[in-house]
Structure 1
Amino acid sequence: MEKPQPERTSRLRPEKRRAILDGAAHVFMRDGFGLAGIDDIVAEAGVSKRTLYAHFPSKEALFGAIVEEWCASLLTPLREAGIRHRDTRETLVDLGRMFLDVILSPEGVQLYRVVIAEAPRFPDLGRVFYESGHQPAAQLLSSYLRTRIEAGEFREFDCRRAAEGFFQLIAGYSHERMLLNIDTQIDPEDIETYLSVAAEIFLRGIARPDTV
C-alpha cells in the first residue's frame, strides 16, 4: 500500500507531534513494539496516518523518538545537578537518586520491559536505548570522577567502568524486582538506604591506599 505523502513541514504543529508520541507510547507499552500497529497508534493519538508520517517516517523512528525523549528525562537532571564543586559522597547519592527516580518510575519500568522483549528481533531499539540513556549517564559520571582523581581525592582507576558499575550497583535488586513485577514500588526509605550503602562501597573501592 502506498505510504501517505508527508505534509509540508511548515504545517506541522508541536501539539500533533506530542499527541503522536503520547499515543504511540501508550500502544507500545500495551502491545509491545512488534505487535503495535500504525492504525492503533493513529487512533490512540487522534491523528491521521498522513500526519503521523509527516513527523515520523517509520514505526522504528517513532519508537526511537520515544526512547530518546525518555532518556532525556533521565539525563537532564543529571546534567543540571551542578556536580563539579560538591562533596563526592553527596554527589553520588544525589545522582543515584535522580537515576532511580526515572528507571523505577512506572513508565521507565515498562519501557525497559518493551526494549528487552523486542531487542532480539529489533536490535536497533536496544542500541538507541543504551546510547541515548545509559551511555551518556556513565560518561557524565566518568568525567566527574576524572576531575576528582586529578584533584588528588582518589587513586587512579578506570573512570568509565567505575561509573557504569556505580549505576549498576544502585539499580541492583530493586530494579530487577520491579521489572519482574515482584514489587510495584520501592519504599523511599529503602532507596535512601541503598544509595547510602552503594556510595560507601563505591568510595571505599576507589579510595587512595593512604586514606583507607
Structure 2
Amino acid sequence: MNVISDQRVRRGRKFGQVLDGARKVFMRDGFERASVDDIAREAGVSKATIYAYFPDKQLLFLEVARGECLRQTEEAEAMVTAEVPVRTALTIAAERIVAFQLSDFGQRMFRIVVGEGERFPGLGRQFHDFGPGLIHARLVHHLGSYVAQGALRIDDLDLAADQFAQLCKASIHEKLIFSMTETITPELARRSVHGAVDMFLARYGVGG
C-alpha cells in the first residue's frame, strides 16, 4: 500500500460517527481484518458515506490514531499555562504519556502498527507523524518556552524531547509489549512519572 496524503480526507456531518465506528472495529479486529462493511455497520452509515470521507482504509486508520493523540495533547496543553512551573508542566506531560501507554487504545494501536508494518509500507511512518510525532512537536515547543524563560538549559530540543518521552516509558513499555505483567499498578506508573521528571530536571534544570 502506498503512503497517501491525508489531504484526501473529506469531512461531513457523519464524520465523527464514522470515526467512532472505525475506532471500535480497528481495536477489535486489527487493521488487516477490519472491513469497510464492518465499520459501516458499527458506525450506522453506508459504505458510500465512508468512501466519501476516506477513499482508503489506511487514511481512516490514521485519522483515528491522530484524533486520539490530538485529544490527549490538547487536554494536557489546556492544563499548562505560562505561569505553571516547569516541574508541574513536565509532570502533567509525563502522566499523559504514561496514561496513553497504559490505555487499551495505546497498546492496541502499537501492536497494530508493528504487526501490519511489513505488509503496509509507510503505515508506521504515517502513524508516527500523526500520533507520537505530534506529541514530540508539542514537547519541543513547550521545552523551548521554558528554555526562553530560563527554567531549562537545553541545546538540542529534539533530542531532549525524545529523551523525556523515553524516560516516561522506563519500567513500563517492555513489561507491556513482552506481556511480563498483566497490570501496571498505579504505584509503578507514579514511579515512572516522577522518576522521568527528576532525571530530566537533573540534566536540564536550572538552579535546582
Tell me, yes or no, whether TM beats 0.5.
yes
Which residue of structure 1 aligns with residue 77 of structure 2? Answer: 79
Matched letter for residue 40 of structure 1: D
The CA distance in 2 between the partners of 1:39 and 1:153, in whole Å, is: 53
User: Is the 2:65–2:127 contact (alpha carbons within 8 Å) kept by the matching residues of 1?
Assistant: yes
Unaligned runs of 5+ in 1: 1-8
Give the drift of 1:141.
Answer: 2.1
Which residue of structure 2 aligns with residue 90 of structure 1? Answer: 88
Query: Would you say 1:194 and 2:178 are equivalent positions?
Result: no
Unaligned runs of 5+ in 2: 1-9
Q: How does 1:170-185 map to 2 (within 5 A)?
A: 170-185=168-183
Which residue of structure 1 aligns with residue 45 of structure 2? Answer: 47
Which residue of structure 1 aligns with residue 26 of structure 2? Answer: 28
CA deviations on 1:144-170 (whole Å, 9 max, x unpaired) are 222333333333421121011101111
Give the drift of 1:109.
Answer: 1.0
The CA distance in 1 between the partners of 2:102 and 2:27, in whole Å, is: 15
Which residue of structure 1 aligns with residue 6 of structure 2? Answer: none
Matched letter for residue 54 of structure 2: F
1:145 pairs with one of 127, 143, 146: 143
CA deviations on 1:67-106 (whole Å, 9 max, x unpaired) are 1111112211232122422221121111110222223111
Which residue of structure 2 aligns with residue 122 of structure 1? Answer: 120
How many residues are paired up? 199
Task: Report SS of the residue matched to 2:140.
Answer: helix
Distance 1:154-1:55 versus aligned 2 partners, 3 A rule: closer
Distance 1:99-1:47 versus aligned 2 partners, 3 A rule: same
Which residue of structure 2 aligns with residue 4 of structure 1? Answer: none
Q: Which structure would you say has the larger Rg?
A: 1
Identical amino acids, percent of aligned pairs: 33
CA deviations on 1:25-68 (whole Å, 9 max, x unpaired) are 23222332123222232233333212221222121121121111
User: Is the 2:171–2:192 contact (alpha carbons within 8 Å) kept by the matching residues of 1?
Assistant: no
The CA distance in 2 between the partners of 1:121 and 1:158, in whole Å, is: 35
Task: Report SS of the residue matched to 1:137.
Answer: helix
Query: Would you say 1:13 and 2:13 are equivalent positions?
Result: yes
- Computed over aligned residues only, the root mean square deviation of the Cα atoms, in angstroms, reads 2.4
Q: TM-score, normalised by structure 1?
A: 0.81
User: Is the 1:67–1:128 contact (alpha carbons within 8 Å) kept by the matching residues of 2?
Assistant: no
